Amino acid sequence: MEYPAPVARLIEELRRLPGIGPKSAQRITYHLLKGTVEDALRLGDLISRLKEGIRTCSLCNAITDQEVCVTCADPVRSDKVICVVEEPHNLVAVEKTRDFRGRYHVLHGALSPLQGIGPDELKLQGLLDRVRGGGVEEVILATSPTVEGEATAVYLARILKPLGVKVTRIAMGIPVGSDLEWADEVTIPKALEGRREY
Amino acid sequence: MEYPAPVARLIEELRRLPGIGPKSAQRITYHLLKGTVEDALRLGDLISRLKEGIRTCSLCNAITDQEVCVTCADPVRSDKVICVVEEPHNLVAVEKTRDFRGRYHVLHGALSPLQGIGPDELKLQGLLDRVRGGGVEEVILATSPTVEGEATAVYLARILKPLGVKVTRIAMGIPVGSDLEWADEVTIPKALEGRREY
């Protein structure tokens, strides 16, 4: 018994997504087969067109559908503090706590010599430009407390401090070895509050 | 910080899939955003077109892209034994063991009075027709050992036995309360082998 080709191909393709194993891929496929044509078309269309009009913010590299993202465009936020995160969803996690009213910078990665990710693979230039441009008093390094995130924070502290800006690291309120993504809305403000100077 | 609309809508839509929580939906969305346009288009297209040309076998109700599925069309298999399963993926699970060489019947569900699923909601007619048509010596009830699967087996035994066919139930080698889907390739043959007559 083989699956019909379109079914087998979708199961195979779904397995390539993060967190989806063979059983999950099969369950999702049968769920879609049992659902309406409209449901499948809606999901398929959203995926196909996902990248249309989506870009990274020209200031902070967040995911946006504008030239400048909502956070950077907000006139009320303080330009004096920049919170540096690894990935766009880390920004969303911090933002959900409504505890931070400064600006962000998204690196789109973390240093990982083993995976061949060096400083050139990270989006650093915009951050350096903003700090050099003046007006920034503090850069909070909110990379994840993993080996890679820690290495990235140490590296950033080393290149940012000579520019005369205060560089801080979020506190290890977030369980070490975990990812910022999994931290809850109580832990993130605690970590922001307990930040220490490098 | 809000997600751009296409991103937020995809996360929302992915959360409706079985086994996908809010974090998974977000991870998958970012995975797709980081990937190539071609990857997103390929997955989107597979989902959109999934139901095109896919139908249920006119004999056993398995998922197929032909009028009659591969298993029903196989001339080598025995017509004397029909293995009844709840869902198409249960058929695939049994078939993977290469232990059963008869035919199948897929019910597309199980009796569940709480969810309002009665005999009319199951695909029973084809099974009854085949048994009444003669030549079938045994019907193996391989519904899952859950409350619903057990109720379905009891119900089927009651309507099939008066037709003069031997009705058997797979053995409880599969952990009770679990789903046939999770059984491994050693347990399924054991369960088939240890089947007992109703």
Top mean-pLDDT range of A99-103, B31-35, B162-166, B171-175: B162-166
Q: Among A2-11, A132-141, A186-195, B38-47, name the one with the lowest average pLDDT.
A: A186-195
Q: CA of B137, closest CA in chain A: separation in Å?
A: 23
Q: CA of B186, closest CA in chain A: separation in Å?
A: 17
Output b/e per residue, A151-162; b: 16+ Cβ within 10 A: ebbebbbeebee
Q: Among A173-182, B88-97, B123-132, name the one with the lowest average pLDDT.
A: A173-182
Q: Does A8 touch chain B (CB under 8 A)?
A: no
Q: Among A48-52, A64-68, A160-164, A184-188, name the one with the lowest average pLDDT.
A: A184-188
Q: Does A45 touch chain B (CB under 8 A)?
A: yes
Pairwise CB contact (< 8 Å): A65 & B5: yes
Element (H, E) at B103: strand B103-106
Residue B22, both tokens: 């809010």
In this complex, which of A26, A28, A50 lies closest to B17 when CB atoms are compared? A28
Closest CA to A62 of B11, B44, B33: B33
Cβ-contact B65, A5 below 8 angstroms: yes
Task: Kindly tell me the burial class for residue B50, based on how many C-beta atoms sit within 10 Å of its own C-beta (0-12, 13-18, 19 or more).
Answer: buried
pLDDT digits (tens, 9 = 90+) for A129-155: 999 998 999 999 999 878 899 899 999
Q: How far is it, in rounded angstroms, from Cα B54 to Cα B67? A: 10
pLDDT digits (tens, 9 = 90+) for B6-48: 899 999 999 999 989 988 999 999 899 988 999 999 999 999 9
Mean pLDDT of chain B: 87
pLDDT digits (tens, 9 = 90+) for B117-149: 999 989 999 999 999 998 999 999 999 878 898
Cβ-contact B143, B152 below 8 angstroms: yes
Phi, psi of A139 (to 5 degrees): -115, 120
Cβ-contact A20, A14 below 8 angstroms: yes
Residues of A in contact with B65 (CB under 8 A): 4-6
pLDDT at A168 over 60: yes
Cβ-contact B128, B159 below 8 angstroms: yes
At A71, the amino acid letter reads T
Query: Of B13, B33, B46, B66, which to mutate for an interface test with A (greatest number of A Cβ within 10 Å)?
Result: B46
Place of tokens 């997600």: B3
Cβ-contact B167, B198 below 8 angstroms: yes
Going B5 to B8 to B13 to B14, the CA torsion angle's sign is: positive
DSSP chain A: ----HHHHHHHHHHTTSTT--HHHHHHHHHHHHHS-HHHHHHHHHHHHTTTTT-EE-TTT--EESSSS-HHHH-TTS-SSEEEEESSHHHHHHHHHTT---SEEEE-SS--BGGGTB-GGGS--HHHHHHHHTS---EEEE---SSHHHHHHHHHHHHHHGGGT-EEEE--TTSPTTS-GGG--TTHHHHHHHT-EE-
Cβ-contact A62, A88 below 8 angstroms: yes
pTM confidence score: 0.70
pLDDT for residue A1: 52
Phi, psi of A104 (to 5 degrees): -125, 165
Residues of A in contact with B44 (CB under 8 A): 43-50
Q: How far is it, in rounded angstroms, from Cα B6 to Cα B27? A: 15
Q: CA of A95, closest CA in chain B: separation in Å?
A: 6
Q: Does B144 touch chain A (CB under 8 A)?
A: no
Chain centre distance of CA A63: 9
> Can you tell me the mean pLDDT for A49-56?
88
- ∠ CA A4-A10-A11 to the nearest 5 degrees? 90
Phi, psi of A114 (to 5 degrees): -65, -35
Helix axis angle, B22-34 to A88-96, nearest 10°: 150
